[in-house]
C-alpha cells in the first residue's frame, strides 16, 4: 500500500536549505519514491498553513518510506534542514 509524505516548510535560511535539497535529492536515487508536488505558494482552502513550501512524495510502502527517512544518508541531510527551516510533516496511508 502506498504512503504519502507531506511536508510544510518555512525556509529561514535559503542557502542551507539549498544544500539540504541537494543532499536529500541524492538520497532518493533508489526509485521507490515519486515527488508528486512541490509548491512555494499553495492555495489555502481552510484553516492555517504553517510554511509556504509544501512537498508531497509517494512511496510504494511504509517500509520504503522508513528505509529512506531513517537512512544515514537522509538523516545527514535532515540535519541541514533542521537548522534552516521550521517543518511540519506527516505520513498518510493510501487506500488500497
- Summarize pLDDT for 29-62 with one digit per residue, the tens: 777 789 999 999 999 999 988 889 999 999 999 9
- The strand ranges marked E within 1-96 are 3-11, 33-39, 53-59, 85-93
As separate numbers, helices (DSSP H) first and strands (DSSP E) second, the chain gives 3, 4
Write out the three cell numbers for 10: 518555512
Of 65, 45, 44, 80, nearest to 2 by C-alpha is: 65
Mean pLDDT over all residues of the chain? 92
Provide mean pLDDT across the span 77-87: 94
Provide mean pLDDT across the span 3-32: 90
Terminus-to-terminus CA distance in the chain, angstroms? 6
pTM over 0.85: yes
Task: Give percent of the chain above pLDDT 90.
Answer: 80
State how far the alpha carbon of 52 is from the alpha carbons of 14, 31, 86, 96, in Å.
13, 27, 11, 30
Local confidence band at 76 (pLDDT 50, 70, 90 cut-offs): very high
Q: How far apart are CA 90 and CA 44, in angstroms?
A: 18
| Residue 96, pLDDT above cutoff 80 | no
The pLDDT, as a whole number, for residue 40 is 93
Amino acid at each position: 500500500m502506498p504512503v504519502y509524505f507531506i511536508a510544510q516548510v518555512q525556509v529561514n535560511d535559503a542557502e542551507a536549505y539549498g544544500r539540504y535539497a541537494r543532499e536529500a535529492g541524492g538520497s532518493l536515487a533508489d526509485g521507490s519514491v515519486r515527488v508528486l508536488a512541490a509548491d512555494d505558494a499553495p492555495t489555502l482552502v481552510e484553516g492555517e498553513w504553517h510554511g509556504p513550501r509544501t512537498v508531497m512524495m509517494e512511496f510504494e510502502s511504509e517500509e520504503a518510506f522508513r528505509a529512506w527517512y531513517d537512512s544515514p544518508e537522509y538523516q545527514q541531510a535532515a540535519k541541514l534542514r533542521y537548522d534552516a527551516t521550521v517543518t511540519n510533516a506527516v505520513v498518510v496511508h493510501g487506500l488500497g
